[in-house]
Amino acid sequence: MNSSAWGLLALFLVVLGVLAWPLGRFLAALCDGRLPCWMQRAEAPLYKLAGTSPEQSMHWRSYALALLAFNAIGTFAVYGLQRLQGVLPFNPAGMTAVSPDSSFNTAVSFVANTNWQGYAGESTMSYLTQMLGLSVQNFLSGATGIAVAFALARGFAARRTDGKGFVGNFWVDVTRITAWVLLPIAFVIALVLAGQGVIQNFDAYKTVTTMEATAYQQPKLDAGGQPVRDASGNPVLEDANATTQTLAMGPVASQEAIKMLGTNGGGFFNANSAHPYENPSALSNFVEMLAIFLIPAALCFAFGRVVGDRRQGWAILAAMTVMFVLAVVAVIPAEQAGNPLLPPLGVDQAQSALQAGGNMEGKEVRFGISASALFAAVTTAASCGAVNAMHDSFTPLGGMVPLVLMQLGEVVFGGVGTGLYGMLVFAILAVFIAGLMIGRTPEYLGKKIETHEMKLTSIAILVTPILVLAGTAVAVSMGAGRAGIANPGAHGFSEILYALTSAGNNNGSAFAGLSANTPFYNALLAIAMWFGRFGVIVPVLAIAGSLAAKKRLPVTAGTMPTHGPLFVTLLIGTVLLVGLLNYVPALALGPVVEHLMLWK
């Protein structure tokens, strides 16, 4: 890494910390129900209408059932909007109904906070579908993830001994997170992005003559070879070589803000954050990266406050940050190294004024290698999936870094809520392993970790590897799965592995060389997305309920500290060993083989 890359990484982490600290304080207050009176008065009519109140805490099973029912209804709503958009308003481009299999895949994808897109947004979705369907789910799926993190934090913080396992009220949590966190912050980010040039309108698509075509326009000549002139004496130009382009319009800034803030990642345009209408400048690129990590980082600070020991939040954040920096230190040099097969062919790789040398294929020249590679690490570490470069065009090792970040379980900051509760699951496993090593009953934050919690932890950790590896095996063994591969060999295998990894871990990015908008992949990936999301959430809520029912033990001289460098190291080792070892054989067949072939 060069000095500019180090400087960009340092600036990003410093600004992130400055913004996340105060937000973490507010999230802790929100989790504990310590809101100003005016907020409580504003909420009261909504709770009365819904027949609930902040004082009505739910058992974890009721919380889980409410969450599943809420998201199931959202799935049907998004599916219906897509199927009926041809007869609904706010459709100036005249988009027809989306196919049943694509509608099903997209509905599950946005509800599961994955936002996998097998379609091109500007040529498939009407404004109404984008706003009422996809953007609304960007808010609600993000709020769902944060609500689960709140429930688990309450489980650790609870001091009650009644054994009932209450973890809060799902309806209250979703309402407060949406109204007081996601909406106001997304509004501010949307204004900033609009100021940078991200469009926000309801105009019909515009047809324009390209600049290249204008340059080639020639004067129209008469039979004698003389220029034809109009009534004002100006020469008449003929458009024999002229070409036109249709520019898609739409309410982009509002969707872009929550797409990043809620770690959703679904782009209004097919090119996602590489499109100048979504991400026009270096500043907008920086703001979007900050938005992705803002809430996941703030939740670490909030967790420390909720459990009554801020050092616990710092320990979780430290583990996330160390793994993230290691990923960035791996991906940027891999892309800066470039393709070793090009220099012998006399191809000049100094393709960018921003970044001389390296692999510029698939990257926007206005961002360069460092900002593109950092964006790739941020979006895959944080379960976002937005892209400002083509991951399929990364070098083998450069492309493996985003793949590995997802395969760790999306816990390196992770999605909004999902990163924190995923890392806490690994923390439970880490203290269990430590307890076995020193011969003590494992405890974490004063709660004993026993057989029941370990069974649930094992389920939460193993769900996604099973989905990813089994799904990849099914895809490569069936003709319908292999038919979508654009590149044979190791890279084609990597494309399928990346797709299932992205779906199972609710990321949404892709090695887009795979043609995945087929009935086979729409069904397979939808299954992976649904169970990758809710197959983890349910056992996490069960852990929260179990911990909430336990008495919180006081700290003694024999209690293993879980806030120092030793525990941070243990937690990182647990994530890397347990989270990654499942995928080593698959990685060896894909990016590792491709790298060895490239650098032989």
Q: What DSSP string runs through 474-506?
A: HHHHSHHHHTT-SS-THHHHHHHHHHHHHHHTT
Q: Which residues pair with 200 in a beta bridge?
A: 251
Q: Which helix (H) or strand (E) holds 193?
A: helix 183-196
Residue among 584, 593, 575 at smallest CA distance from 324: 575
For residue 162, what pLDDT is reported?
57
How does pLDDT run across 572-596, given as a tens digit for each residue?
999 999 888 889 999 999 999 999 9
Model confidence at 96, in pLDDT bands (50, 70, 90)? very high
The answer on 430 and 294 residing in a single domain is no
Q: Does residue 400 form part of some domain?
A: no
Distance, in Å, from the CA atom of 444 to the CA atom of 380, rounded to the nearest integer, reads 28
Judge contact between 202 and 92, C-beta under 8 A. yes
| CA angle, 569 then 456 then 143, to 5° | 80
Judge contact between 382 and 408, C-beta under 8 A. no
Single out the residue in 262, 286, 306 at which a domain terminates: 306
The answer on 422 and 297 residing in a single domain is no
Distance, in Å, from the CA atom of 501 to the CA atom of 465, rounded to the nearest integer, reads 8
- Domains of the chain: total: 2
What stretches of 505-562 show up as alpha helix (H) in DSSP?
519-548
End-to-end CA distance of the chain, in Å?
23
For residue 233, what pLDDT is reported?
73
Q: Which residues pair with 221 in a beta bridge?
A: 227
- Mean pLDDT score, 193-209: 92
Q: Does residue 157 form part of some domain?
A: yes
How does pLDDT run across 159-170, given as a tens digit for each residue?
765 557 899 999
Which two structure tokens, joined as six digits, stand for 417? 């809520």
Distance, in Å, from the CA atom of 158 to the CA atom of 186, rounded to the nearest integer, reads 32
Q: Does residue 297 form part of some domain?
A: yes
Distance, in Å, from the CA atom of 339 to the CA atom of 348, rounded to the nearest integer, reads 11
CA distances from 161 to 60, 447, 487, 548 (A): 16, 12, 59, 8
**Does residue 355 register a pLDDT over 50?**
no
Q: Does residue 61 form part of some domain?
A: yes
DSSP 392: G
pTM of the full structure? 0.92
For residue 331, what pLDDT is reported?
95
Q: Does residue 96 form part of some domain?
A: yes
Model confidence at 255, in pLDDT bands (50, 70, 90)? very high
Single out the residue in 262, 283, 306 at which a domain terminates: 306
How does pLDDT run across 303-347, given as a tens digit for each residue?
999 999 999 999 999 999 999 999 999 999 999 988 887 777 766
Which two structure tokens, joined as six digits, stand for 414? 């992770």
Which two structure tokens, joined as six digits, stand for 581? 């070892």
How does pLDDT run across 118-177, given as a tens digit for each residue?
898 899 999 999 999 999 999 999 999 999 999 999 999 987 655 578 999 999 999 999
The answer on 302 and 426 residing in a single domain is no
CA distances from 77 to 82, 132, 146, 523, 597 (A): 9, 9, 22, 18, 47
Q: What is the mean pLDDT of the chain?
A: 91
| Paired sense of beta strands 206-209 and 244-247, if any | antiparallel
Q: Does residue 411 form part of some domain?
A: no
Single out the residue in 306, 321, 353 at which a domain terminates: 306
Distance, in Å, from the CA atom of 33 to the CA atom of 54, rounded to the nearest integer, reads 8
**Sign for the pseudo-dihedral over CA of 381, 385, 390, 396:** positive
Residue among 451, 339, 350 at smallest CA distance from 394: 339
Which two structure tokens, joined as six digits, stand for 17? 């910390």
DSSP 592: I
Phi, psi dihedral angles at 558 (to 5 degrees):
-90, 0
Model confidence at 240, in pLDDT bands (50, 70, 90)? very low
Residue among 578, 543, 550, 503 at smallest CA distance from 421: 543
- Mean pLDDT score, 42-47: 92
Q: Does residue 368 form part of some domain?
A: no
Q: Does residue 354 form part of some domain?
A: no
Q: What percent of the chain has pLDDT above 90?
A: 75
Q: Which residues of 546-560 are buried (b: 16+ CB within 10 A; e: fewer)?
A: bbbbbebeeeeeeeb
Model confidence at 354, in pLDDT bands (50, 70, 90)? very low
- The boundaries of the domain holding residue 296 are 3-204+251-306
For residue 235, what pLDDT is reported?
74
Question: Which residue did the predictor score with more confidence, 13 or 348?
Answer: 13
